[in-house]
Structure 1
Amino acid sequence: MSSSRPKKSAKTRPAAPEGGLLRAHKEEKFQLHDEADLVNFRADALTRFITNQDLMDNVTLKLIHTSRLAPPRSFPGNEGKNKLYEEDATDEAIMEAAKNMTPTQLFSGDLPLMRAKEKLLARELAELHEELEKVINTSVLSEKSSFQKRAVKRLADAQSQCSDAESLEHLESVLERTLQEYKDKFKHEYTFDDRP
């Protein structure tokens, strides 16, 4: 079997210039890529191919009892184990089960329980928001602080709508009115500091 690459010819080194200590040394002929160099790679590839084929045959030809296979669920669930409500439970019973849940209990994948939990959380959020509004309006913020909060919101809205010369004039008028109202209500003049 001949290789498609040309074989290198023998090389000779030139003779030593003086003294004759170094003689010309003739190198033997050799090929860059001998087929024996590739035998190990081919044998390894063949071994891997045979092993892979055996594994594929093992998977495809053995009988598997499909009655024992359970399809995976979309969500992790606790079906059959420690169900928090009966199968024919009413919405009130499901809501009660959601109220009595501990943080460690799993409810993901149980859609009725998830909907009940969402309603409970929305209701709790609304109650906390109302409670916060009561506290803010009475004791936490003074009248001056609440005025400043409303004024900042009003000015931010006017600035966000500022896109041309007319809206810029509107922003300046809102600023002047706010400063005048602040001066009239709290007897304190707000001054701008032009320092950088």
Structure 2
Amino acid sequence: MLKKKIFIIVLLLFILSSNVWAEGFYKDIKVYFNNIKIAVDGNEIKMEEKSFIYNNRVYVPVRFVSENLNKKVKWDEDRKVVLINGYKGLEECNPRAGENFVYGIITDIDYEERTIVIDQHLGPDSKVINEPLKVRKDVNILLKWNDKYMNLDFKDLKVGYDFGLILDKENLVRGIIIEI
């Protein structure tokens, strides 16, 4: 009988404390849905999720807004942070600083050594590349599709990509442009 009473008391304490614990995370709020429309650069964008007004502020889904502004959105569960990143533009090739621009197709990639082998498309002023190219750690890889841009990581490169490369004066790849 005593064990049963202790069990009931512990169970009641657990149930009551869980309500107090949950109160810190959840809160009932009143929001107003008022057929809110969103326009990006003057063009109205159709949304699947509804926006709402709370405390005289309009709340819109962050992924919807960010992606319509050509930003990349990622949720970091560990840090509880929404990461919004635009693309980092690529500084033009500067031949006066010893840089070269090379066109071609990636035929092999060594992700550990950070090298790529290319099948080069030669133009009248092209520098001929015969050896694997070392890719700098701070390389800027820019993917363009239609009118949108996105930065890629080196590990995202794939054999067969048609590209333009910017080689610095040490013949290291400092920029890659891929258009699909």
The answer to which structure has the higher strand fraction is 2
TM-score of the aligned structures, taking structure 2 as reference length:
0.29
TM-score of the aligned structures, taking structure 1 as reference length:
0.28
The answer to which structure has the higher helix fraction is 1
Q: Which has the larger radius of gyration?
A: 1
